[in-house]
Amino acid sequence: MKRTLAISFLISIVLFSCSKDDKAKGPSNEEILTKKIADIIPQKYLDTLKILGLDVHQGVTPPNVEGTYHIAPNKLDTSNVPNDVPGSYFSNATVTFSAQSATDFSIHLIGKNFLSDADTSIATAISGSGNDFTVYGKVKSVRGTHSAIFALIFTGTKEGANLKNVRVGIINVDNSQGGTGIFINEGLGRIAFDEDHVSEKVAEKTESGERKGAGLHTLGFIQ
């Protein structure tokens, strides 16, 4: 009996020690990344973009994608926005990625002509493995007294200095701040892509004069 009690006591000590060790280690990389992505885009809206054809590259070892890239021609692939016509063109755009972290999977994102002249991320994350990556950004777009929160997602492959096969997913995730009639409605999204399949890395200062094409719109607004 004493021997049985002693064994049970030792097992309890081992289990308690393991539990303390697990807590001391903190969350795994996968858990950190999953939480970051959930803070940027609700799963139901990420699922919507996946249904529309956005390939999300999973993993916690993405390539370094820091730099400024030119996405043009910026062409619509799929959409759940009424009256959208696949094959339509949107404004040529650029995106700058910086301050990429391999420990907490954060990355700074500044876009031009996806929503406005300067789309700065509120929250970001990057996933992927090998040369494949997906960058998730939450962006607030403002026009006058109207605003909306969008998820802006880039997915593609790093190839040398450039990005290849870039697809851009955009979806309204919060239209509660007076965006109705200005922005596409909450839950509606578009998938666009770089038509020539290569998004060239450019010097950021040369892109300051980038302008929207005549008659073209950005991805987040009602046409």
CA 172 to chain centroid, in Å, comes to 13
Instruction: Specify the pairing of strand 132-143 against strand 146-159.
Output: antiparallel
> What does the mean pLDDT of the chain come to?
85
Q: What are phi and psi of 11, to 5 degrees?
A: -60, -40
What is the average pLDDT across 104-118? 89
The β-bridge partners of 202 are 68
Kindly list the domain boundaries of the chain, sorted by start residue. 2-29, 32-207
pLDDT of 207 over the 50 cut: no
- pLDDT digit string, tens, across residues 24-52: 578 999 999 999 999 999 999 999 999 99
pLDDT of 150 over the 60 cut: yes
Long-range contacts of the stretch 197-201 (C-beta < 8 A, 24+): 197/164, 197/165, 198/159, 198/162, 198/163, 198/164, 199/69, 199/70, 199/71, 199/156, 199/162, 199/163, 199/164, 199/166, 200/69, 200/70, 200/162, 201/67, 201/68, 201/69, 201/161, 201/162, 201/163
pTM value? 0.83
What is the average pLDDT across 183-210? 82
- pLDDT digit string, tens, across residues 68-104: 999 999 999 999 999 999 999 999 999 999 999 999 9
Least confident of 86-90, 133-137, 141-145, 217-221: 217-221
Q: What percent of the chain has pLDDT over 70?
A: 82
- Token couple for 99: 């301050």
- pLDDT band at residue 223, thresholds of 50, 70 and 90? low
| pLDDT attached to residue 212 | 44
